[in-house]
Structure 1
Amino acid sequence: MSTLTAIDLEKHFSFLRNADQEIKKQLLNHAQIKEIPAGASICWEGDTCTQLALVLAGAVRVYKVGESGREITLYRIEEDESCILTASCILSQTRFPAFAVTESPVRAVLIPASILREWVKRYEVWRDYVFELMSKRLATVIATVEEVAFRRVDARIAEFVANLAEENQEVKITHQEIAFELGTAREVVSRILKDFERENLIALSRGSIVIQNKPALLEKARLL
């Protein structure tokens, strides 16, 4: 991996800063850099996980698809992060339980599955990294489940839209994309957004939303 140095890796992944030189040397020897274009499907449900990606730049969306075809975002993997589902599948040698797609061009360091399993067994620094990854992502996924199961859809949409941008800023996003994010139907999103527009909280146009009253949207999210 001649185009990346140990110092470069330490800038992105702080857990390597205190690692032994031998660990850094092995990472540089076994890993490879991969450039992936935006919109690429990189994992399908049921895939065998053959590599763990440490993301250097870009963003990956990890999501589930229901029998009806409805999607819900589980989490995103962004710069200096990695995928807990991939790590879990590699260590347990099970199939990938979701889908993953790049939302922007991604540059990542890829570690072969067999090498990762060996490193987790041999090196405490790698065990600590994987366990920390699990704890952080588990909290995110639990929060998503709680949102879907226990919170009203209109409150979730109000909060999501309010956090898209500042007041009077236009955001390029479709009703279907919001539905994918929140795990609901496009028709439900459209109906609720129309209600918000009638209340002068937002202004709708094709493929975009203008936030007109962000404090009121956040208050609606809190009260509903």
Structure 2
Amino acid sequence: MIQDSSQQRRLIERFAFLRDGGEALRETFFAQAKVATLPAEHIICRDGGQCSQLALVLAGTGRVYKLGENGREITLYRIEAGQSCVVTASCILSQRPFPAFAVCETEVEAAVVAQGDVQRWLTSSSHWRDFIFAQVAERIGEVFSVLDAVLFQPLDQRLAALLLHRARRSPKGAARGRILRVTHQELAVELGSSREVITRLLRDFEKTGALLTGRGQIELLDPSILEAR
């Protein structure tokens, strides 16, 4: 049960189905859901695990990834504030095991909905149903983008795009867009590659004057070179 008025207000602000679904849906949701906080690096679900709850993220970021037999990871998508994990929803509805790993990338605060409520509200609330289906459509697009990149885009282009994306999302400040706090291993995990290959590509970028690598960080010197790549 969610009785805290500030939590209720934040949920209504984050999720349109609560704003638009009417007082009855809000009362039902707040009576049945609960808010949980999970620490960074907490494993939410493992490959082959059963899903009994659906989390709606209020704050923080979760990551869903696939782990290959060779030990390499590739990120399928992230779950941020105002979103939910559609793979979890799919597993709840189909009664099938979770086909990937889900982990808290940062501390995550989320409203947690039980399996029975997820299923029941799909029938009783069009606003809840629209929310779930919209999440499915968005995530399918993201996963296909990952597949397209892995299958058809050279790794150096994917790395350049990832560095530019991280720069655009850097916290505001004097060094925004210049200093990326990230390791070669983290980039390798993100792209489904190895640390050695990523290090070689970063050295190639460094030779062109695009960036400068340091311990646990990368400084972008000329982003236009990465954009051209």
TM-score range (shorter-chain normalised) is: over 0.9
Contact map agreement 1:49 1:95 (CA 8 A) in 2? yes
Q: Please give the TM-score of this superposition, normalised by the length of structure 1.
A: 0.94
- Residue 174, structure 1, aligned to residue 183, structure 2: yes
Q: What SS is found at the alignment partner of 2:166? A: coil
How far did residue 6 of structure 1 move?
4.5
What per-residue deviation string (whole Å, max 9, x for no partner) do you get for residues 84-138 of structure 1? Answer: 1011111111111111111111110000011110111222111111111100110
Task: List gaps (5 residues or longer) in structure 1.
Answer: none
How far did residue 168 of structure 1 move?
7.1
Q: What SS is found at the alignment partner of 2:167? A: coil
**17-26 or 145-154, which moves further after superposition?**
17-26
**138-147 or 6-15, which moves further after superposition?**
6-15
Report the counterpart of residue 223 of structure 2 in structure 1: 214
Report the counterpart of residue 55 of structure 1 in structure 2: 57
How far did residue 154 of structure 1 move?
0.7
- Residue 3, structure 1, aligned to residue 12, structure 2: no
**What does residue range 1-224 of structure 1 map to in structure 2 within 5 Å?**
1-4=2-5, 6-165=8-167, 169-220=178-229
What per-residue deviation string (whole Å, max 9, x for no partner) do you get for residues 57-105 of structure 1? Answer: 0110111100000000111111111111011111111111111111111
Task: List gaps (5 residues or longer) in structure 2.
Answer: 169-175
Counterpart AA for 1:57: A
- State how far apart, in whole Å, the 2-side matches of 1:34 and 1:48 are: 19
How far did residue 164 of structure 1 move?
2.4
Counterpart AA for 2:26: K
Change (3 A) 1:8 1:169: closer
Counterpart AA for 1:27: F
- State how far apart, in whole Å, the 1-side matches of 2:9 and 2:167 are: 35
CA RMSD of aligned residues (A): 1.4
Q: Please give the TM-score of this superposition, normalised by the length of structure 2.
A: 0.92
| Count of matched residue pairs | 220
- State how far apart, in whole Å, the 2-side matches of 1:176 and 1:60 are: 18
Runs of 4+ in 1 over 3 A off after TM superposition: 4-8
